[in-house]
Amino acid sequence: MTAIDDDEDDGPPKLPGGKFYMTPEGHARLEAELAARRAERHRVVEIVSWAAGNGDRSENADYKEGKRRLREIDRRLRFLTRRLAHAEVVDPVAQTQRDRVFFGATVTYANERDETVSVTIVGVDEASLAEGKISIASPMALALLRATRGDEVTVRTPRGPERVEVLDIRYPAAG
């Protein structure tokens, strides 16, 4: 297995079709990170070059730390480049079937404990439970996909199957 193959294992698996679905905002965020990492790499290369010119590299902490940091940056650059190359940007604003749950939908559901929860289905790189954003590859999102208001779906959880009822489906408005 090569180092490039190892990078394929970083992050969640690809969805059917080999694409990583993401919102325009998520795509822009990864593009910005890619640009920032490239700029950081340039600065670190200058530091390593300077440190290499200081003589004995075996005891040169600046050189060793710089080389370690370059490996980290290069690995993340490969990951971001590959992820963006396989990105399928889906704008939820353009969704025409707004009565069903698809990528980008904000879904409000009630669980078996009578708790009402709202989640937005986003790409695997955009998921943030604190912000109420769940990955399209998550069990909850997979169970909710294609559901309509009033549908009951079964979600496989670590505690076992759980029934949830879809109360509302919203998509961002154009604007």
* Domain residue extents for the chain: 3-89, 92-170
Residue 2 confidence class, pLDDT cut points 50, 70, 90: very low
> Tens digits of per-residue pLDDT, 66-95?
999 999 999 999 999 999 999 999 999 999
The residues with which 168 forms a beta bridge, in sequence order, are: 108
Q: In one letter, which amino acid is 135?
A: S
Alpha-carbon distances of 67 from 45, 63, 70, 74, rounded to whole Å: 8, 6, 5, 10
1.10.3720.10, 1.10.287.180, 1.20.1260.10, 2.40.50.100: which CATH number matches 3-89? 1.10.287.180
Give the rounded percent of residues in the chain with a pLDDT score beyond 70: 89
> Tens digits of per-residue pLDDT, 115-165?
999 999 999 999 999 999 999 999 999 999 999 999 999 999 888 999 999
Residue 5 confidence class, pLDDT cut points 50, 70, 90: very low
Q: pTM of the predicted model, to two decimals? A: 0.79
| DSSP 8-state secondary structure symbol assigned to residue 100 | B
Residue 32 pLDDT exceeds 50: yes
Architecture of domain 92-170: Roll (3.10)
Opening angle at CA 74, ends 31 and 47, nearest 5: 105
